[in-house]
Amino acid sequence: SQQGEEDPQALSIQEGENATMNCSYKTSINNLQWYRQNSGRGLVHLILIRSNEREKHSGRLRVTLDTSKKSSSLLITASRAADTASYFCATDDTNQGGKLIFGQGTELSVKP
Amino acid sequence: GAVVSQHPSRVICKSGTSVKIECRSLDFQATTMFWYRQFPKQSLMLMATSNEGSKATYEQGVEKDKFLINHASLTLSTLTVTSAHPEDSSFYICSASETVLPAQHFGDGTRLSIL
């Protein structure tokens, strides 16, 4: 079942601005991952944050995790037109044998 | 990085045809592969988990006789959509995971259109 809810569903910003996407989940997790999907393509793994971590950085990406609120956020700083894509969070449910449960996704559009 | 190749990228065929989709891990051994289905503007829905050398585990509501999965080697899993009908038209994506890392590596998907 899909447990992740993301907001906003769609986000449109100008190049250079920051983009923040949020994800909520319902069960206990081992880790939470963020993926990117360009239109009509497969998913690309961006970053993984473990349940005992609170924040992680990778280049222009910053991910936070609040297990007490069962939520995570993905921040993309200094966005570029090439960042235009759909972004999905996915949780590794401790009771699901390692299967990933994907959120509904945020469609990000970065205008040049 | 780990590369997963999915083939074909697009299939258009008549109703009643069976379609086979291949998913290969090119530079790593994948003990587990996953098959997803994605409708336009929606998230990925897990269809089944495929482990090398054993029967696939299907998610609730997925017909195992309709969607045949074979994972004969550590680098290849196939999904066969049997007697496909227009309602089977969708974007099918596979992924593979290495034994140690929890991240999944995705193929580029197959767009299946049944006329």
The string of pLDDT tens digits covering residues B63-95 is: 999 999 998 888 999 999 999 999 999 999 999
Based on C-alpha coordinates, what's the Rg of chain B? 13
Inter-chain touch A92–B46, beta carbons under 8 Å: no
Go through B78-98 and write b for each residue having 16 or more CB atoms within 10 A of its CB, e for each that does not. Answer: bbebeebeeebbbbbbbbbbb
Question: To probe the interface with A, which of B22, B44, B92, B99 has the most A CB atoms within 10 Å?
Answer: B44
pLDDT in tens, A33-92: 999 999 989 999 999 999 999 999 999 999 999 999 999 999 999 999 999 999 999 998
Q: Where are the beta strands (DSSP E) in A8-104?
A: 10-14, 19-24, 29-37, 43-50, 55-58, 61-66, 71-76, 85-93, 100-102
Q: Is B24 on the interface with A (CB under 8 A)?
A: no
Instruction: State how far the Cα of A61 lies from the Cα of A66, in Å rounded to an integer.
Output: 17
Instruction: State how far the Cα of A32 lies from the Cα of A11, in Å rounded to an integer.
Output: 21
